[in-house]
Structure 1
Amino acid sequence: MAPAVRNPWLLALLALTALRLLGAALLPVSPDEAYYWVWGRALAPSYYDHPPMVALWTATGTALLGDNALGLRLLAPVGVAIGSVLLARAGEDLFPGRRVGEWGAALLNATLLFAAGSVLITPDTPLLVFWCAALWAAARLHRTQDGRWWLAFGVFAGLALLSKYTALLLGGGVVLWLLAEPRVRPWLLRWQLWAGGVLAIALFLPVVWWNSQHEWVSFAKQGGRAGTVGTGSSLRYLGELLGGQIALATPVVFVLCVAGTAMACRAWWRDRLPAAGLLVTLTVPAAALFLWQALGSRVQGNWPAILYPTACLAAAAFLGPRWRGWKLAGMGIGLAVMFAALLQASFAPLPLPRRSDPTLARLGGWPAFAAEVEAARQQRGAIFVATEEYGLAAELALHLPPGTPVVALGDRWDLFDLPPPPQGQAGLLVRSERRGDGPPLWPGATPDGGAVRQRKGIEAERYRLYAVRVAPGDPPLALLPARR
């Protein structure tokens, strides 16, 4: 048996990846995932919500395995496994011979943020994978002093930017490291560093071009979210941010990450360790930015996910033997919570109501609901099914029979290269009751019954049905791709 195969850490990662692949196959598809599946069927240089990497991942997986849950998510568990190996290698290069990388990658895999991204497919999944890859390239550069690793770093940073705009903090952190750490500052005079930057920008240029053709809509949306001033109190948003991170990282791992980052700051200040400086500049400034944002508006719980690769390495590197029990407890709790969440989302052994079970709200009952909508469409003689909610439209496109057209309503669909439905066709509009009692966006919609999405008899959401017809002057309409 090869030495690599005898490595217990690697064997554990392989077993965990197999479990995640099973979860990816069994877990119902969320509305956002279905929306990214539509992206993969309508590939473009960018989208209203995010850059295109998640669309490329879903398109690749479904091309290999078909339009199903596992095909849609295939690259998530595979990519996370590769990212875990690269993070482990980064830890070894930064702190040779101390098994920092293996411990750091294990802690990262125990967080709910990383565990969810290893089963569900979101833009954060490729972002974290390429973030870990870029960190590995920077660590290789630090250990080997071979400037060609700047080229690899530039490629991975560019791919991270193609995943999510928060990857800008990756480049910013490394630039700060170069400016603040005297022993790496000479790289500023080497051509390889600048060539790596050019590669990153070149990879990102298609997103810039697409935005220039669409009134900079994606930049405006995400930039506006980062700068929005909320109506709640600063303490409320700050409490939401900290409470969310404690939950998503799991409490023990969160404590380890905070303590490890503090010790890394101390090691950089006292011992002038360049490796500690790299971890600090990729963690602390971004964390300070999110804390500052929380003083005026809400920070989404997944945004700080980029902090954890370096924070987990810091915990592994700078928290000594006395913390070993904490590390083992953190990994055990994280994996147990992940398994429990997968079990509830896949099989719902606990009959929890919607308010107590987020898996019911987002994942429960979609195939049966689509069958109910299809029966209602046929009963009414409608040609297509329509909805004004992008996630609901994508779920119906994924679950309805391929011969049933799904029409999406709303301004965002103007940005897709998708055809409108033919004029004069009659359809059935599905609208969630959670959108309120006001009239639908579709002019002339006539109430025509209702439908309920449920899982094992427990209600997830109620919907109103309306009879509609395509006519001149309608809001933007798009005919979504059908399941293959």
Structure 2
Amino acid sequence: MAVQPFAKGPVAALAAAVAALLLLLSGRYGFHRDELYFLMAGQHPAWGYADQPPLTPLLARASVALFGDSPTGLRVVPALLSAASIALVALLARELGAGRRGQLLAAGSAACSAFVLAVGHLLLTTTFDVFAWLTVCLLTLRLLRTGDACWWPAVGAATGIALLNKDLVLLLAAVLVPAVLVVGPRRVLRGWWPVLGLAVAAVIVLPNLWWQAAHGWPELTVAGGISDKDGGDNRLMFVPMQFLYLSPVLVPIWVGGFRRLLRDPALRWAKAFALAYPLVCVVVLATGGKPYYALPLLLVLTAAGCEPVAERLARPGRRRTSLLAWLAFGAAVNIVITLPVLPPRLIPAVNWIYPEQGEQVGWPELAAATGEGWSAVPPDRRSHAVIFAANYGEAGALAHYGPRYGLPAPYSGHMSIADWARPPDTADGPVLLVHPAKYPAVERYFTGCRTVAQVDNGHGVPNQEQHAAVVLCTGTSAPWSTLWPELRHFY
């Protein structure tokens, strides 16, 4: 099967327009809690962290170093990755037989999807993960289409790099290999080339594996905690989110792509991807994983469904404007939900759908409230005082905004922050404790606690830190070295 020329001009223009929109809006709110954590992690470079491999924190550090220590500076990388992901979806459509119109429709479908827009706005592990999955899928399609085993090292290299960002790409391998064994073409699994691809991936990810092994595989603890805590909700929302994460407008396209991969004799070599999507859904449901774990494969199905739609629209008498109008409508809805276009006071209108919007406001106010609490610490006791944050968002905000209020570096037992520093036992109080209003249980580790300030983000946004308590305690219930294992937590 021959591939059509790539519609590089229109696709590049569309991808650049999306990147420009993302950068234009990048500074409208503030940092996300995860971004503040990644900025901290980037200052402690390592081959791994308790909850992730090293790539995203290193990207965070590089981005602010190159483009400035601001939300916009941090978000240049996600905007570029989002543009690249849009181009990759067009290349996937091309690999699956799409001509110029089909490729442009695929790029447009990706560009208007909530998932691509959301991860293009924030620097998250998912941001690079989407790009990585699509790259692996494209190289795998090239391998399956050509039967040329020389593509295996490239597949292995892309997988290894993806593993330096997030282990989730193993899920893609876990469903694609059995799918190829069931529906073919099995010949690509023979010989020593697959072994070479596996070896390339292993060499790339080996330093992170060594780090995880040396630290007791904490990522498994984190994953287990996510499943235990959110598994029920994740399973309940899994099916609805498959229709909503891209856009309801795109459902007919990806359903058509799924049927095409199953039934079109010309795409028999790509049938494994039709089987891989339901397989990954079953695995995610069984493990209680997050619904978006299956989304990159859904983008592959979308790419597969674009050429038949483009062919129908090219026939005389077909109305193209209706499809463009629907895509524009879907894009507009998704932009309002996932990007910071609303005034902050209106965030509650969309926050119940996409809570990550609300997690981008209130961090300077949290630092200001903590500064108010710090002023209650007697000056002669400040050399023995500690600021302790209950979670990584609070710790990241205090590390970033705290210096303007004269605050010392915060401590926290959350995720990898617990590994970077522990208060010395000589720091016997006072302790200024910051914790979400709904989680006062942490106060039991401290003595003589009283609330001295409270966080108000100023916009009435009901995020995790709204009304968080700033609590001044006289000291700890035991030495820090004794308490630290109990204060450490992964979720």
Question: 2:345 touches 2:461 (CA, 8 Å); kept in 1?
Answer: no
2: CA distance, partners of 1:90 / 1:258: 16
Equivalent in the alignment of 1:303 = 293
Question: 1:353 touches 1:459 (CA, 8 Å); kept in 2?
Answer: no
SS where residue 428 of structure 1 aligns? strand
TM-score by length of 1: 0.83
Q: What are the residue-to-residue correspondences of 1:180-219 with 2, within 5 Å?
A: 180-182=182-184, 184-219=185-220
1:434 Cα deviation after fit? 1.5
The alignment-based identity, stated in percent, is 24
Deviation sequence 1:36-56 (CA, Å, 0-9, x none): 222212122222222222112
Deviation sequence 1:212-232 (CA, Å, 0-9, x none): 112222124325645x59896
SS where residue 412 of structure 1 aligns? coil
Equivalent in the alignment of 1:74 = 76
Deviation sequence 1:229-266 (CA, Å, 0-9, x none): 9896xxx7654212233332221223432342133222
**Structure 1 residues 220 and 366: CA distance shift in structure 2, 3 A:** closer
1:86 Cα deviation after fit? 2.8
Equivalent in the alignment of 1:480 = none
**2:150 counterpart letter in structure 1:** R
Correspondence 1:289 to 2:283: yes
1:193 Cα deviation after fit? 2.6
1: CA distance, partners of 2:415 / 2:226: 16
Equivalent in the alignment of 1:398 = 400
**How many residues are matched?**
462
Question: Any gaps of 5 or more consecutive residues in structure 1?
Answer: 478-484
User: Over aligned residues, Cα RMSD in angstroms?
Assistant: 3.3
**1:375 counterpart letter in structure 2:** E
Q: What are the residue-to-residue correspondences of 1:102-113 with 2, within 5 Å?
A: 102-113=104-115
SS where residue 410 of structure 2 aligns? strand
Correspondence 1:475 to 2:486: no
Correspondence 1:466 to 2:471: yes
Question: 2:7 touches 2:103 (CA, 8 Å); kept in 1?
Answer: no
Question: 2:141 touches 2:270 (CA, 8 Å); kept in 1?
Answer: no
TM-score by length of 2: 0.82
Deviation sequence 1:372-411 (CA, Å, 0-9, x none): 3223313434555321122211122122226522323326
Question: 1:110 touches 1:332 (CA, 8 Å); kept in 2?
Answer: yes
Deviation sequence 1:413-463 (CA, Å, 0-9, x none): 476333545733644211221214x45154225214221222346665112
**Structure 1 residues 472 and 83: CA distance shift in structure 2, 3 A:** closer
1: CA distance, partners of 2:51 / 2:432: 27
2: CA distance, partners of 1:475 / 1:38: 23
Question: 1:54 touches 1:122 (CA, 8 Å); kept in 2?
Answer: yes
Correspondence 1:417 to 2:429: no
Deviates more, 1:354-363 or 1:148-157: 354-363
1:191 Cα deviation after fit? 3.1
Question: 2:51 touches 2:416 (CA, 8 Å); kept in 1?
Answer: no
**1:475 counterpart letter in structure 2:** L
**Structure 1 residues 39 and 237: CA distance shift in structure 2, 3 A:** closer
Correspondence 1:335 to 2:335: no
2: CA distance, partners of 1:231 / 1:458: 26
**2:245 counterpart letter in structure 1:** L
Deviation sequence 1:133-173 (CA, Å, 0-9, x none): 12222233345554332211111111222222221122234
Deviates more, 1:45-54 or 1:324-333: 324-333
1: CA distance, partners of 2:98 / 2:192: 28
**2:203 counterpart letter in structure 1:** A
Deviation sequence 1:66-94 (CA, Å, 0-9, x none): 33212333211111212322332232133
Equivalent in the alignment of 1:258 = 255
SS where residue 110 of structure 2 aligns? helix
Of residues 295, 303, 306, the one that matches 1:316 is 306
Question: 1:87 touches 1:135 (CA, 8 Å); kept in 2?
Answer: no
Correspondence 1:429 to 2:433: yes
1:126 Cα deviation after fit? 0.8
Equivalent in the alignment of 1:482 = none
Question: Any gaps of 5 or more consecutive residues in structure 2?
Answer: 314-319, 486-491
1: CA distance, partners of 2:351 / 2:14: 35
1:198 Cα deviation after fit? 1.0
Correspondence 1:276 to 2:270: yes
**1:467 counterpart letter in structure 2:** L
